[in-house]
């Protein structure tokens, strides 16, 4: 699992794995792009192995991506699950984990890809936004959509209140998707993902 922040999705997935004996997956490793993150503290509290691959120590995206993927492979990871990971992986990741990289994004893609999706939704005056889980391809927040959940934008919402409700949906949706992936129930047909 790849993290860059508070680690709330990491915690939701770790809890889902513990409470569901049929989950079908485990977290082999938690990789962060910098030290001292709350996500690493949450991982340690859950008894998960962690490693920091500092972004600043690599000359370019390619060497950083290879380092992240090599750590994952060395710890027996079969897939990469991005949970608030704020680095864009290079094409090396797609080569090393083809069709096996999942990401979660706080908007209804293809609307508002990239950073600050919640702020962009508010500034555009949308009435609904939400959460998207998708397979990662070589473009940012572009890969085939696996699942989405709608979150209404309420009168008086600010970025913090809307983001909190989006995260509530993330914590419900991501474990369901990761479990389905672990059980081989997600099949890509072009840009469409079919649940079997």
Per-residue pLDDT tens digits for 103-152 = 999 999 999 999 999 999 999 999 999 999 999 998 999 999 999 999 99
Q: Are residues 2 and 93 in the same domain?
A: yes
pLDDT of 119: 98
Residue 36 sits in a domain whose CATH number is 3.40.50.170
Give how far Cα 144 sits from Cα of 73, 169, 190, Å: 24, 19, 8
Q: Are residues 69 and 129 in the same domain?
A: no
List b or e across 112-123, with b for residues whose CB sees 16 or more CB atoms inside 10 angstroms.
Answer: beeeebbebbbe
Per-residue model confidence as pLDDT tens digits over 73-99: 999 999 999 999 999 999 999 999 999
Contact between 177 and 79 (Cβ < 8 Å): no
Q: Which domain holds residue 175?
A: 102-196
Boundary residue ending a domain (98, 115, 131):
98
Q: Are residues 82 and 112 in the same domain?
A: no
Q: What backbone phi and psi angles, to 5 degrees, belong to 134? A: -145, 160
Of 171, 110, 118, the C-alpha closest to 142 is 110
- Count of the separate structural domains present in the chain: 2
Boundary residue ending a domain (51, 75, 98):
98
Per-residue model confidence as pLDDT tens digits over 21-50: 999 999 999 999 999 999 999 999 999 999
- Catalytic positions are 105
pLDDT of 188: 93
pLDDT of 87: 92
Q: How far apart, in whole angstroms, are the C-alpha atoms of residue 55 and residue 44?
A: 21
pLDDT of 116: 95
Helix (H) or strand (E) holding 8: helix 8-19
Contact between 128 and 166 (Cβ < 8 Å): no
Q: Are residues 77 and 157 in the same domain?
A: no
Q: Are residues 90 and 107 in the same domain?
A: no
Q: Are residues 14 and 65 in the same domain?
A: yes
Q: Are residues 55 and 146 in the same domain?
A: no
């Amino acid at each position: 699992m790849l993290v860059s922040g508070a680690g709330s999705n990491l915690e939701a997935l770790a809890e889902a794995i513990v409470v569901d004996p049929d989950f079908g997956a485990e977290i082999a490793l938690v990789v962060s792009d910098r030290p001292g993150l709350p996500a690493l503290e949450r991982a340690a509290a859950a008894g998960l192995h962690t490693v920091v691959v500092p972004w600043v120590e690599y000359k370019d995206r390619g060497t950083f991506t290879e380092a992240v993927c090599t750590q994952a492979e060395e710890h027996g990871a079969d897939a990469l699950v991005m949970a608030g990971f704020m680095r864009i992986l290079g094409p090396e990741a797609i080569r090393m984990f083809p069709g096996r990289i999942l990401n979660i994004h706080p908007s209804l893609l293809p609307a508002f890809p990239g950073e600050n999706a919640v702020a962009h939704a508010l500034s555009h005056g949308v009435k609904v936004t939400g959460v998207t889980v998708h397979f990662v391809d070589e473009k940012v927040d572009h890969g085939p959509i696996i699942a989405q959940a709608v979150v209404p934008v309420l009168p008086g919402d600010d970025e913090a209140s809307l983001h909190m409700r989006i995260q509530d949906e993330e914590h419900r949706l991501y474990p369901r998707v990761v479990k389905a992936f672990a059980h081989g129930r997600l099949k890509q047909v072009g840009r469409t993902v079919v649940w079997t």
